[in-house]
Amino acid sequence: MPKLERVKLADIKLDEKNANRGTRRGREFLEMSLSKYGLGRSMLLDKDGKVIAGNKTLEAYRTAGGKEIVIIGTHGDALLRSSERT
């Protein structure tokens, strides 16, 4: 079973070399998606807590007042799926 860990957003580092500079349209889409569908999406972090994928999602979450994320420890050898609990 993968290890779960709650981490404060302050401990996550954005990738300064991220090629996605972001557009107004993209930011608006992310904000709408977070508002409409919630946080059921993923990001990829390296072992040091640096974002490999999901920089703009993290920025939108921070802007919306997010405080922490749940990390699912993995070796990268299986797909991960999230689902809404009822």
Domain containing residue 35: 4-72
Q: In this structure, is residue 86 part of a structural domain?
A: no
Count: domains in the chain: 1
Q: Which amino acid is at 13?
A: K
Structural tokens at position 86:
């009822």
| pLDDT per residue of the chain (86 residues) written in tens, 0 to 9 | 667 888 888 888 888 887 677 788 877 887 888 788 777 677 888 888 889 888 888 888 888 888 888 888 877 787 777 666 54
Residue 82 is encoded by which pair of tokens?
């999230």
Distances 84 to 25, 37, 42, 46, 77 between C-alpha atoms, Å: 27, 11, 14, 25, 23
